[in-house]
Amino acid sequence: MPHMYILQCCDGSFYTGRTKDLPRRLWQHQNGMGANHTAKRLPVKLFYAEEFTRIADAFYREKQVQGWSRAKKIALMQEAWDRLHILAECQNSSHWKRCGFDCAQPPV
């Protein structure tokens, strides 16, 4: 089954990927045959995985999560849905000003 997964490397960084065969891909990462990022930061540990029926869905989810902040990825891995929702909100006051809001905080 296709998966989107998040690994934690020995330096504490995260790697987000997708695969059709999770056990095989984890073996590759652990043996230096995965991505350059993980090959330089061994050992790695599987921290999170989501299963999909289609590889296209796993690919889409991988790209989505890759764009997230470290804090948001941690909230996902901890299944902290309330924090995940808060972290998804725009935190950039200049963004709000450009969107026509006069205050530095998002409207309530």
Query: Given this model, what pLDDT does residue 8 score?
Result: 94
Query: Given this model, what pLDDT does residue 60 score?
Result: 95
Instruction: Compute CA distances 84 → 4, 62, 105, whole Å.
Output: 18, 16, 19
Q: How far apart are CA 107 and CA 64, in angstroms?
A: 25
Query: Given this model, what pLDDT does residue 34 score?
Result: 81
What tokens does 47 get?
């921290």
Query: Given this model, what pLDDT does residue 11 score?
Result: 94
Q: How far apart are CA 29 and CA 45, in angstroms?
A: 9
Provide the 3-class DSSP secondary structure of residue 92: coil
- The ranges of the chain with pLDDT < 50 are 108
Which domains, from first to last, does the chain contain?
Answer: 3-98 (3.40.1440)
Query: Given this model, what pLDDT does residue 100 score?
Result: 54
Query: Given this model, what pLDDT does residue 99 score?
Result: 55
